[in-house]
Amino acid sequence: MHALPGRKGSGRDRLLHMDLHPGNVVLTPRGPVVIDWTNARDGAPDLDLDLTALLLALTGGSTDQPLAGLAEACLAPYVGHVEGDPTRLIDQVVSLRSDDPNLTPEEVALLPRAADLVRQTWAAQA
């Protein structure tokens, strides 16, 4: 997906989804389709990678079973197989998510723990 150039024509930026998680991928007879491009923007691919890792860590730490178990099981394989560094921009991603008006104060409070989990998972893969 990050092979798509940014919309502003910058040579470095790529089109980012900014909400990529299993719930936004629909399996069709022609293959997977990414939906919900509401938060799309141009930027560094690591920003998108970091956000997906954070979303997996957040969901994995929730009480929403069986989704939490699935997300937790996906985190290590995800950070182990992405091209790029899923921790390089994690602080920026936490800040972006903290500003999301749709998150409850409880969800915002979980962001630092989820970021630490991503860092720990990435370090264990190295």
Per residue in 51-81, pLDDT (tens digit) is 999 999 988 877 777 777 888 889 999 999 9
**Is residue 23 situated within a structural domain?**
no
Q: What b/e string do you get for 61-97 counting C-beta neighbours within 10 Å, with b at 16 or more? A: beeeeeeeeebbebbeebbeebeeebbebbeebbebb
Number of domains the chain is built from: 1
Domain that holds residue 87: 44-125
Asked whether residue 6 is domain-assigned, the answer is no
Tens digits of residue pLDDT in 91-124: 999 999 999 998 889 889 999 999 999 999 999 9
pTM: predicted TM-score of the whole model, two decimal places? 0.85
Instruction: At 98, list the tokens.
Output: 């903290």
